[in-house]
Amino acid sequence: MPPLPALLAPSLLACDFTRLASEIEAVRAAEYLHVDVMDGLFVPNISFGFPVLEAARRVRDHLNSGQVLDVHLMIERPERYLHEFAAAGADSMTVHVEATPHVHRCVQTIRELGKRAGVVLNPGTPLEVLRPLLDSVDLILIMSVNPGFGGQSFLPQTYQRVRTVRGWLDEAGSPALLEVDGGVSAANARQLAEAGATALVAGSSVFGPDGAAAGLARLRSALA
Ligand code: DX5
Ligand code: ZN
């Protein structure tokens, strides 16, 4: 079976922040821009928050690229900040099921804010938690590393997890995006698309030494 085309979501976490605007410009052809927010509690790392998201939005608006700002919230009880992230420029917000007892409420709030609502699962979280949410989400994100850091090795169990969720989405007739995040590169992109992923997040494999435009092109050709 030929791989389905997957949308690409370069992860800003891996970019050179001294050149934020030109890094975003280098990946302007990507459909999504992935923005990793970490609070030092849910994950053992702190990345960035509203000012960087606002800056990314300004660059995106200036480029007029139409790129979707895909905000991955690795924060405890994300319901505390959904309004602020929407105001700062998020087009899509994804909350971890492990980070709140109120995942469904978060999804409802995100949609009320007029944004796309996503849920994300850590590699050790049973997929069954997704079942009651299938009808309510615009995006499901499967972590293929333990969240918190870029540059980690892809966990091969992800293929089977993606196939299972793909089956459930197809059964439900859901158009939700199925996104994978962590250790994604030209070496596994095609296999992930074949397993049913429709969006791929990539940090270190895009923002590499030969520049982000080349990194993005490598991923695209792996999928072609
Ligand atoms: C990890 C983040 C990822 C990270 C991916 O917690 O959610 O989005 O930037 O980086 P790579 O592609 O280098 O694994
Ligand atoms: Zn991420």
Q: What is the mean pLDDT of residues 47-54?
A: 98
Q: Which pLDDT tens digit goes with each residue over 116-129?
A: 999 999 999 999 99
Supply the range of the domain harboring residue 97: 7-223
**Residue 1: inside a domain, yes or no?**
no
Q: How many CB atoms lie within 10 A of CB 180?
A: 30
**Residue 60: inside a domain, yes or no?**
yes
CATH of the domain at 74: 3.20.20.70
**Residue 158: inside a domain, yes or no?**
yes
**Residue 2: inside a domain, yes or no?**
no
When pLDDT is cut at 50, 70 and 90, the band that residue 5 belongs to is confident
- pTM of the full structure: 0.98
When pLDDT is cut at 50, 70 and 90, the band that residue 57 belongs to is very high
CB 110 within 8 A of CB 78: no
Give distance in angstroms: CA of 149 to centre of ligand 2.
9
**Residue 192: inside a domain, yes or no?**
yes
Confidence (pLDDT) at 54 = 98
Mutate to test the pocket of ligand 1, among 27, 152, 216 (most ligand atoms within 8 A of CB): 152
Q: Tell me how many domains the chain contains.
A: 1
Give distance in angstroms: CA of 115 to centre of ligand 1.
22
Q: Which pLDDT tens digit goes with each residue over 162-207?
A: 999 999 999 999 999 999 999 999 999 999 999 999 999 999 999 9
